[in-house]
Amino acid sequence: MLRNLKGVDFVKKLALFLILLFSVMSFATWMPLEDYSGVKYVYYKINYTQYEEEKEMIYGVEIGLDEEKYILNYNTTVFLSKDQPIGSDILFEQELSMFMYTFLNPMFSFFYETIDLNEQMNTKLYGFGSIKYEGQVTVQGKNGTYTGTKVVLYNEDNELSMYWVLNQDIPFPIVTYMSDDYSDGSTMVQLWDYELR
């Protein structure tokens, strides 16, 4: 009987330890928001190179709610030089939402799962390179600043591939930066404004 009680105590302690370990691990990694139903709006400023020209735009979505449904209102602000003609290809460009999906891509969760903003230990990802932590970065948003940890992915040749600026309390990447391996261009997507319900 005494042996059975010791076994039960051991199992309880082991179960408690596993629950605590899982809890600590779940708080250790940063993950982006997956369900946007609790978001009123989110906007990103995007700086990118297209046909060797530096461009900037602001892209966002507002999520309304009535008794029966969510109402998504997409908003894109594109800045054009005055000498550029404005044709239908610009007015009805369809690739903007796909462009944003590239940076909010769920496939990045593989990288996010290796990020530990508390411990900040450099991590080798075989076949991809290394994740390194490079201090705090503050960026200007529409109505204030956002500060987070710069997390950099270097490729196998130790060249900059991507980086993110992440804050444990903000459910969106503050910055996502991608270099273009095939040109001198790069793209930076920066959190511009957001509000949760």
pLDDT in tens, the chain (197 residues): 545 445 555 445 434 333 333 333 444 477 778 888 899 999 999 988 877 778 888 989 999 999 899 999 988 888 888 888 888 777 776 555 556 655 566 566 677 888 888 888 888 888 888 999 999 999 999 999 999 999 999 988 888 888 999 999 999 999 999 886 555 678 899 999 999 99
At 26 the pLDDT is 42
Task: Please name the residue that has the structure tokens 């629950």.
Answer: 19
**Secondary structure percentages of the chain, helix, strand, coil, to 5:** 25, 45, 30
Q: CA 40, CA 26: separation in Å to the nearest integer?
A: 26
H/E segment holding residue 134: strand 129-140
Please work out, in degrees rounded to the nearest 5, the angle formed at the alpha carbon of residue 173 by the alpha carbons of 132 and 171: 120
